[in-house]
Structure 1
Amino acid sequence: MADEIVAKATPRQMSLGLFEDMFPDGLPINESPKEIGFQRNNVFVEITDMGVTARRLIDAAYFIVAQEKGNADHYDVELNYFKWLMRYDSKNHVHLRAVITEVQKSLIQVTDTPPDQAPQEKDLWVSVQLLGIVGIHNGRIRFEVPPQLLRHIKDTDKSHWLSLRITSAFTLSAARAIYDHILPFVPHGMTDWIPLDVIRNWAGKSGASAAVFKYFKRDTFEPAVRQINELSDIDLSYETRTESVSSKKIDRIRFRMSRKETADSVRASLQGAQELYLALKNEFGVTTKQFIIISENRAVWTDERIQQAIEYTRFRLDQGKITKSPAGYLMKALRDNWQVPEAERKMVAILEEKAEAERVEEHAKEHAIKKVEANHAARDAEVRSRTAEEVRQGRALFEAFDARARKDLVRSYLVSPAGKLLVKRLKLESASLTEVDLLSHADLAWAFSQFVFLRTKSKAKKTES
């Protein structure tokens, strides 16, 4: 119920806003950058033999009725707004009154009698006036709709989306009549075989005036199909069938149709919401077929509901709960009206804050460890550099001593604990090692040169003291 209220309130507010923006500049409703329409009950496709302007008047009246939350005895709106909704550009009020009278004289007749059979007593048949009392005064129009029709106007179970932006563009009665009748079949892509006389009846007087099909086709039918393809959101084609294999007389027509795969028609069905359109197309990869489904459900799937589905899908993507087809997931969220519970949103925010705090703490620990490691590495490098310098100086000092002093240093090193340990580790015999052996062996030369440096340094300190 809440969805229906939102759907019926939003188009009314939007259409008034568009009227206020476009009317002062003389822009008609068919040039609207946003979609304006309502879910029209399939029963109203049975309206026949009515002019284009009269059909527009009924569309405008039923659009206004469809937006009201409940049933009313009458409906009262600004006349200029009403005329804009029905794309009535003329200031000829005599003609407008004539159009209103035409509508008041028109009836909608509903029956369950098959079109190719005569009515029976048991058959259902209902005939209802399309519009009741209408009054115009002081720049406003007030009209009544028969109570029997109100529930059908507001019933969206068996309905189709009717765009006033599109229907107001038609100039041929036959085009409008055919368009009305095929709209409920667009999701199926094809109609059943329809008797030619039924289609003639759709077209009203223009259809009945041409008894021969080729003239009906030339003067009425083909121009209507061309206008539908030119002005509407549908690509329409048809095929014919004869009475029998041996006959050349055409007595059946079957229509094939599909929504146009154009960004303009899809964007219009999104009420001109460019950001929504780009998010659906570029971020989620919504397909043309899915866009068509969205277009056909715009009476309930408002901008707010689409945005809600987008936010829900993004939320689940961030949680890693969508593993395939984000577009398909979004469509399900749209159909089932999913939304992120506020409690869950708060819970996720708290968990994210906690995780962020843990990340900051872990980063601080890693930084401290790296700093300690860097300090250790710097000290190790300093020690290695100092040791290398000691070895270099020790070697230079050793080479500067006389033979006796060098012999004493060699003997002192070989009997020192450090010298004994290294010689043992290298599996050498200290008794057989000479000065040349010490200086030619890399490990022994390094350790011996450092020993010489430290021994010489220690003696120098003692001499100074």
Structure 2
Amino acid sequence: MIRRQRKTQVEPLLEGEVCCVDSSPTGDKVHDFNRADHAMASDNPQEGRTKTTPRQMALALFEDMFDLGLPVNESSREIGYQRNNFFTEIVNMGLPARRFLDAAYFIVAQESQPQDQYDVELNYFKWLMRYDSRNLKHLRTIADEAQNAKIRVTNTPSDRDPNENDLWAQVQLIGLVAFHRGRVRFDVHPTLVPHIRDPRTSHWLSLRISTAFTRSLARAIYDKVLPSVAAGRTDWIPLEVMRTWPGKMGANAAIFKYFKRDWLEPAVKEINEVSDIELSYETRTESTSSKKIDRIRFVLKRKETADAVMASLADASHVYKVLKDEFNLSSRQFSEISENRDTWTDERIQQAIEYTRFRLHRGQVKKSPSGYLMKALRDNWKMSEAERTMVDVQAKLLGSDVQAGAEPAEVPASVAQSIASKEEESRSRMNEEATLGREHYLAADERSKRDFIRGWVTSREGKLMLRRMKLEPADVTESDILANTELGWYLGQFVFGRMSASRASK
């Protein structure tokens, strides 16, 4: 267990409390708590339920902001969830078990109503935690470690033994876990559910970022510092405390120069490479007369592209549903995708989906769409720019033919031919403009890309287009736009318009 230096660093489990989290089966220290007599204030889980689900609130907010033309600052619900700051206090837990809890709490947070048990496909759960192995025995071990994580609440002072009047309560972070016939079932104690679904003090946890870590210490540090990003730095942290965050470490970790070389520096490097924050650290000694470094604090800065990263992260949940519901991939095919996730990125999967849909619409897929999709994935097939242009031209020509067929029969053929010629000329010009705009967008820096996306989404044309396609701006990512021929065409037109306006102002 960890002795907390400042109680204000952690949001109470219930109002007026301070809590601790430990994944070790036993512990020899327990935290002090204020007003711990409220630890189990309600035995009725109904009292902790939110009046409005987070999803409903986000949709209502989006509709209001969209109509006003204001930018949407909240990300899609499938990317991650607002995690209670309290859960950053998890210590002594390995990386896979942290991912297991992330996936479970994500599912709890996204359900429209709290449930006694949560039952989902095992492949979906593994997809969310990015578990790429078929080793179910190992997955059971991970679940067991996650179940060992407990919250302990007590009002017993640390300087005396407990008595019968003291409060002591303990609850697991995740309760029952069951794997059966390709599904996983789990439950979470009713006391915790309101704090997962509607946290008072929270931070955004991106599942893409949290599952990108390969070092336990990197993930543990990232979790701990997230609530402090706005402040720009953490408080001073005892090194002996930080060494407990990732679980067991080698004996050399007790010596700072080895801890720095083998654990701390690699962890900081990975955080800066894969996450949405830039992190450095400062150290100090216990006193001016001592040479022993025993304190550390982290200096933090949100990357300039962090908001864009949050909005444009590929939606693992959405991709899974497309593969399952539209293409009906088998468990074996999902396993193959899991085993190749290092190279089969979400972008590559989206390209394969788009390519397969294109061939299906042209009647070129004769047997199994799922088999064709897997072939497209293995061989990295994707639509060319020429094919995209062809689809756009054909769609517009078809619309023109229908419109021309509805014209009065007495219109002279020569006039109709002239109109068609001008329309074809206009289509060609607009396609060329869209292509130039798209090329300019792809060559732009990340900041400019973000401005183009935000500008188009909030423009009148963008709003109408997204509404027609029944899409929400919060769900539309850069890869979605570029992968969709219509969205990509209209974005290109918008960028070309910006280019022309910029030239005209010079």
Q: Give the TM-score normalised by structure 1.
A: 0.51
Work out whether residues 243 and 250 of structure 1, in 8 Å CA contact, stay in contact via their aligned partners in 2: yes
Q: In structure 2, the residue corresponding to 1:201 is in which secondary structure?
A: coil
2:268 partner letter? V
1:258 to 301, 306, 309: 301
> How many residue pairs end up in the alignment?
265
C-alpha deviations, 1:162-205, integer Å up to 9, x for none? 11100101111111111100000011111111111111111321
Mapping of residues 270-419 of structure 1, within 5 Å:
270-271=311-312, 277-278=450-451, 303=474
Q: What residue identity is the alignment partner of 1:213?
A: F
**In structure 1, how many angstroms separate the alpha carbons of the residues matched to 2:265 and 2:150?**
27
Residue 163 (1) aligns with residue 206 (2) = yes
Which residues of structure 1 form unaligned runs of 5+? 11-32, 286-300, 306-465
For 1:310, the equivalent position in structure 2 comes to: none
Partner of 1:88: 131
Give me the whole-angstrom Cα distance separating, in 1, the residues matched to 2:226 and 2:116.
Answer: 30
Alignment equivalent of 1:268, drawn from 290, 298, 309? 309
* Shift in alpha-carbon separation, 1:77–1:191, aligned structure 2, 3 A: same
1:48-74 CA-partner distances (Å, limit 9, x unpaired): 111111110100000000112332110
Q: What residue number does 2:274 align with?
A: 231
Partner of 2:232: 189
**What SS class does the counterpart of residue 283 from structure 2 fall into?**
strand
Question: What secondary structure is seen at the aligned counterpart in 2 of 1:76?
Answer: strand
Equivalent AA in structure 2 for residue 69 of structure 1? S
Aligned to 2:360: none
Aligned counterpart, 2:55 = 5
Checking the alignment, whether the CA contact within 8 Å between 2:79 and 2:313 is kept in structure 1 is no
| Cα displacement (A) at 1:268 | 2.9
Distance 2:244 2:270 in 1: 19
Deviating more after overlay: 267-276 vs 96-105: 267-276
Query: Which amino acid counterpart does residue 191 of structure 1 have in structure 2?
Result: T
Which of 57, 60, 76 is matched with 2:103 structurally?
60
Decide whether aligned partners of structure 1 residues 201 and 143 sit closer, same or farther in structure 2, where only a CA change above 3 A counts: same
Partner of 1:144: 187
Shift of 1:37: 0.6
Matched residue of 1:153: which SS?
Answer: helix
> 3-state DSSP class of the match of 2:253?
coil
Question: What is the alpha-carbon distance in structure 2 between the residues aligned to residue 109 and residue 246 of structure 1?
Answer: 38
Write the letter of the residue equivalent to 2:56: V
Q: What's the TM-score once normalised by structure 2's chain length?
A: 0.47
Report Cα offsets for 1:230-250 as digits up to 9, x if no partner: 111110001011111111111
Q: Label 1:192 to 1:118 Cα distance change in 2 as closer, same or farther (>3 A).
A: farther
Residue 358 (structure 1) aligns with: none
> What does residue 353 of structure 2 align with?
none
**CA distance, structure 1, for counterparts of residue 191 and residue 54 of structure 2:** 20
**Aligned pair in 2 of structure 1 residues 156, 197: CA closer, same or farther (>3 Å)?**
same
SS of structure 1 residue aligned to 2:123: helix
Q: Which runs of 5+ in 2 are unaligned?
A: 1-50, 61-75, 315-440, 442-447, 459-471, 477-506
SS of the residue corresponding to residue 156 of structure 1 reads coil
Check whether the contact 1:47–1:108 (CA below 8 A) recurs between aligned residues. Answer: no
Cα–Cα, structure 1 residues 204 and 113, in superposed 2: closer, same or farther, change >3 Å?
A: farther
Kept in 2: contact 1:41–1:156 (CA 8 A): yes
Secondary structure, aligned partner of 1:141: strand
The residue that corresponds to 2:91 in the other structure is: 48
Q: Could you say which residue in structure 2 is the equivalent of 1:18?
A: none
SS at match of 1:203: coil
Residues 177 and 186 in structure 2, CA contact (< 8 A), matched pair in contact too: yes
Q: What does residue 324 of structure 2 align with?
A: none
How far residue 302 of structure 1 moved from its aligned partner, in angstroms, is 7.8
The one-letter code sitting in structure 2 at the alignment partner of 1:6 is: Q
State which of 96, 103, 119 in structure 1 corresponds to 2:146: 103
> Would the aligned equivalents of 1:46 and 1:110 in 2 still touch at CA under 8 Å?
no
CA distance in 2, matches of 1:191, 1:113: 28
Structure 1 183/84 Cα, relative in aligned 2: closer, same or farther at 3 Å? Answer: same
**8 Å Cα contact 1:110/1:127 also seen in 2:** yes
Superposed CA RMSD: 3.7
**Is the Cα contact below 8 Å between 1:8 and 1:68 reproduced in 2?**
no
Letter in 1 for 2:194: R
Matched, 1:217 2:388: no
- Between the aligned partners of 1:216 and 1:101, the Cα distance in structure 2 is 28
Change (3 A) 1:217 1:94: same
After superposition, the C-alpha distances for 1:54-97 in whole angstroms (9 at most, x for unaligned) are 11010000000011233211001111010000000001111111
Percent identity at matched positions?
57
Q: Is the partner of 2:282 in helix, strand or coil?
A: strand
Q: Is the partner of 1:77 in helix, strand or coil?
A: strand
